[in-house]
Structure 1
Amino acid sequence: MGTIAAICTTIGFVPQIIRGIKTKELSDVSPVMLTLLLVGCSLWLTYGIHLKNPIIALANGFTLSFVITILFLRALYKKNRSER
């Protein structure tokens, strides 16, 4: 059950990334929410590594990479929009 939950919460970010890449727009995604997720996933990743629990560590490692990707794309698209 934990593995299924980890998969669902991890891949939940993929549609946002795909939509952002297609539309080149992520300004409607809250940077505060993303920052809190970044901190939370980092702590969960550290906790998973500490426990030597691969499900917790991998799920949060992937989620962390997705959150960083969304933050990066958000900043990139905001910069490109302001240069026009």
Structure 2
Amino acid sequence: MNITPIEIVGLIAGFCTTFSFLPQVIKTWRTRSVDDISLRMYLLLCFGIVLWLYYGLTMRSVALVLTNGVSFILTASILVMKLLFGKRR
């Protein structure tokens, strides 16, 4: 995998979008409140991120692999908290 100038742009963009999930992870962990989090949205988002990660691996893109790897960890943690902390109905 090569780090080209455009990969640096991708890394910066990926850093911004990836770490935008961090406040939600922290808030959800602290409050244990998941009522306003959409399960379907996070299922679809996690699936999409896995596809982007696969795409990044096949394209040998450092930016796509790193940022989507971290994004998956953050969004999957929100998804797991939604399943663990959600009200059983």
TM-score of the pair, normalised by structure 2:
0.83
Partner of 2:85: 77
For 2:35 and 2:16, how far apart are their aligned partners in 1?
Answer: 24
Amino acid at match of 1:70: I
Q: Confirm whether residue 57 of structure 1 aligns to residue 70 of structure 2.
A: no
Partner of 1:21: 29
For 1:26 and 1:12, how far apart are their aligned partners in 2?
Answer: 18
Amino acid at match of 2:18: T
The Cα offsets for residues 1-37 of structure 1, whole Å up to 9 and x where unpaired, read as 2221100110011000100111111121111111111
For 1:32 and 1:45, how far apart are their aligned partners in 2?
Answer: 20
Candidates 47, 55, 67, aligned match of 2:55 = 47
Residue 54 of structure 1: how far off its partner (Å): 1.1
Q: Which runs of 4+ in 1 moved over 3 A?
A: none
Give the gaps of 5 or more residues in structure 1: none
TM-score of the pair, normalised by structure 1:
0.88
For 1:57 and 1:65, how far apart are their aligned partners in 2?
Answer: 12
Q: How well do the aligned residues superpose, as a CA RMSD in angstroms?
A: 1.1
Give the paired residue count. 80
Q: Confirm whether residue 67 of structure 1 aligns to residue 79 of structure 2.
A: no
